[in-house]
Structure 1
């Protein structure tokens, strides 16, 4: 094992009870499943109006969750059980947080009329707008999924594989040997190439016109600013509004202008009718009233696909190697598996990476009826948050939950509602199939071609940004050699 000279004050193996991500491999989470009883309570209660009062305690909860969601949840679940209640300022307001698979199943499989997605409260809504597949609900959401689904499954994903292969090879070929790099940044460039190709039809993700170049620059700028500490302030500020305000509004203006310019360019180009990218699909789409989609609707859809389509995939790559380089034996097994084309082990590796570090740690539903969660009864009008992070670390679901052990998934098909890296129910991530195709290629090729330094530094601290959980330093790695 080669040990990097970059060190921190806490040893990886020592653990730290205050921080869940520093706990040793043999530690228990103290998160267990209690009473499995769950479901709506039919008493005819009408959902109350949202409570918009600002309380000091709810504001404090909001700040604590933005700064250290995982630590708060692990500590409270150990002390209070698997049904937790909080009040938040803005956003979801009164919430119940659940992690028991039976409780999760009850809302994920419920009629959306009584347990719709809580997208209107999403931190991403001010960014991607109200008219995207991510933020719409009901009939509109179903129509959008039906329109977009063919571009993210089957033959379409096979068509993207060539771009995935080329983008991966380009980034690995230029990997700086001997330098410490943030893998999240490298992976973001790679996945952005792929998603820009799929969404806007840019070959190799490279813009060809001035409008496309402006759009590419604007999107990269937004993505870079989203990692800045000021983004946390922007997130808290937007927690009180469904529309972008302050910093967020200023940052989005160049993106909105650039998207509008690309759409105008495509409409003016007669050859655009032969294009097969998603932008062309949306430009030609018609509503049930046989009307074209408005520019604002197309803007929301395109921005959602670009932002969500590369963010989670890039950070899953970063977390995978953040975990591997701190677990040398697993890293060597994974490297050997990649070079031997052992796809079963590599699939198990990805499942374990997404289990230990789910990039989207919470999903939400609005409960329009009173609900039973074990011994707890919640009133109607409350928001239920599924903690995927807690679910993936339940002591009675996963032995040694803090251990990074891909073999737990060898020959095992995870039971429903026990492994949920892409959410679940009728809101499961639209791009999950494309994301997995990217992850399989990118992770396999890095393992096959890049010899990484392993070490005993402590785990990178998770940072919560909007709806994602990312490594605070971007998943720092160092290459000894590139093949």
Structure 2
């Protein structure tokens, strides 16, 4: 391998820095070594980070047989199952992605917005008034309910309650669960018995939902993602279970974290908050979408995406060998003054009418591996944000910004995105769920 600059610290030092302080550590490396640098981290090995959009374009447009995302995603493989879309490569990935696309097309997502709005409104009605609270758990509850009702299609309250209890522990990214994701072999050890039982129970319940869906006499009328997959995709129950777990991992806590950051940013910017309230009241989806895009820029949930090389490549002016992992660094690009003036400033106006390129705004990755649910997530964020702003008056704050804390592969607000509701607003006359704005995919 041509020499790639990077820290010479031992693997045992670099590993906790990358997993525990990724934003700080990678920003520091970027300042010192430039747009291309290498770090060493267990259990992956050498990772070459890329912050130049031209190099990122090369990766996203590269031959998927050489730039393998499935192999690069093995750090989350332990919980997803071997047929998960995230872990597949090549023709197998292309075929599975083709089968899973229809539920995430623009028109299919548009049909779900009214139900998204109802789920958000019901949760917001329970929020405390007049005291500060962590909004992150409320966002998790909303996005989980969206998964249960719109993705899995569960309607029976008893089964919903069981899933609400069983699914969150499976995608928990605390130390024990994260270790089991990275090293599935530890599941046989006694300290991981709880993780093992949680996964078994979640798998049992998901298989029961799949069986119920297959035999549902109203299957042809159902609009949930599972029903659409059962009708259109030739998948076994195990394959469907793996895809449901993938959608849970990729669409529950990630979207909840993105919504939490959006509220954390808004309450610290009174002018943007006031304009957001007007936009929610007036049905100005363009500005709400701009808020979503700016929040995803300034506080990306994932700091990077990965591809593992299966053959030598010429990249960033260097020859990299097979076995190296290359990583387009979302956070470094989003925080670059070359692409965004005053990049650390939260400014939704910069996103109004903006034409975003796929290598300078990439919170959902890019290329053939761009997140399947990107449109779904952005629409869900806009709908939930609108329901919050129309139903409660949020208090601006002068509190310091919350730090980005690493939680396995995501970056979450370190205090849970604390906010305060001043008062409840009069109930909107109509739900105003709206459709999918033209800039949402």
Partner residue of 1:277 out of 203, 224, 231: 224
- Match of 1:6? none
Partner residue of 2:162 out of 192, 209, 214: 214
- Match of 2:198? 251
* Structure 1 residue 169, shift from structure 2 partner: 1.5
Where 2:49 maps in the other structure, the secondary structure is strand
Where 1:419 maps in the other structure, the secondary structure is coil
Where 2:97 maps in the other structure, the secondary structure is helix
Kindly indicate whether residue 24 of structure 2 is the aligned counterpart of residue 71 of structure 1.
Answer: yes
C-alpha change, 1:405 and 1:250, in structure 2 (3 Å) is same
Kindly indicate whether residue 178 of structure 2 is the aligned counterpart of residue 235 of structure 1.
Answer: yes
C-alpha change, 1:61 and 1:410, in structure 2 (3 Å) is same
Post-superposition CA distance 1:390-432 (Å, at most 9, x none) = 1101121111111111122223211231001111101111111
Is the 2:152–2:209 Cα contact (8 Å) retained in structure 1?
no
For 1:119 and 1:470, the matched residues in 2 are separated by 25
C-alpha change, 1:175 and 1:301, in structure 2 (3 Å) is same
* Structure 1 residue 352, shift from structure 2 partner: 1.0
- Match of 2:337? 395
Query: Over aligned residues, Cα RMSD in angstroms?
Result: 2.6
TM-score by structure 1 length?
Answer: 0.79
Is the 1:126–1:244 Cα contact (8 Å) retained in structure 2?
no
Where 1:430 maps in the other structure, the secondary structure is coil
TM-score by structure 2 length?
Answer: 0.86
C-alpha change, 1:93 and 1:180, in structure 2 (3 Å) is same
Higher relative contact order structure (alpha carbons within 8 Å, sequence separation ≥ 6): 1
Number of aligned residue pairs: give it.
416
- Match of 1:338? 280
Post-superposition CA distance 1:428-482 (Å, at most 9, x none) = 1111111111111111222233221222222212122233211122211110011
C-alpha change, 1:122 and 1:459, in structure 2 (3 Å) is farther
Post-superposition CA distance 1:377-402 (Å, at most 9, x none) = 32222110111011101121111111
For 1:190 and 1:427, the matched residues in 2 are separated by 26
In structure 1, the gaps of 5 or more residues are 1-40, 42-54, 288-292
C-alpha change, 1:260 and 1:355, in structure 2 (3 Å) is same
Is the 1:452–1:477 Cα contact (8 Å) retained in structure 2?
yes
Is the 2:83–2:242 Cα contact (8 Å) retained in structure 1?
yes
* Structure 1 residue 63, shift from structure 2 partner: 1.6
* Structure 1 residue 121, shift from structure 2 partner: 3.8
For 2:30 and 2:294, the matched residues in 1 are separated by 22
Where 1:464 maps in the other structure, the secondary structure is strand
In structure 2, the gaps of 5 or more residues are 3-7, 426-441
Is the 1:218–1:255 Cα contact (8 Å) retained in structure 2?
yes
C-alpha change, 1:262 and 1:408, in structure 2 (3 Å) is closer
- Match of 1:437? 379
C-alpha change, 1:242 and 1:354, in structure 2 (3 Å) is farther
* Structure 1 residue 197, shift from structure 2 partner: 1.6
Where 1:96 maps in the other structure, the secondary structure is strand
- Match of 1:455? 397
Kindly indicate whether residue 296 of structure 2 is the aligned counterpart of residue 354 of structure 1.
Answer: yes
Q: How does 1:6-25 map to 2 (within 5 A)?
A: none
For 1:56 and 1:392, the matched residues in 2 are separated by 27
Q: How does 1:94-113 map to 2 (within 5 A)?
A: 94-113=46-65
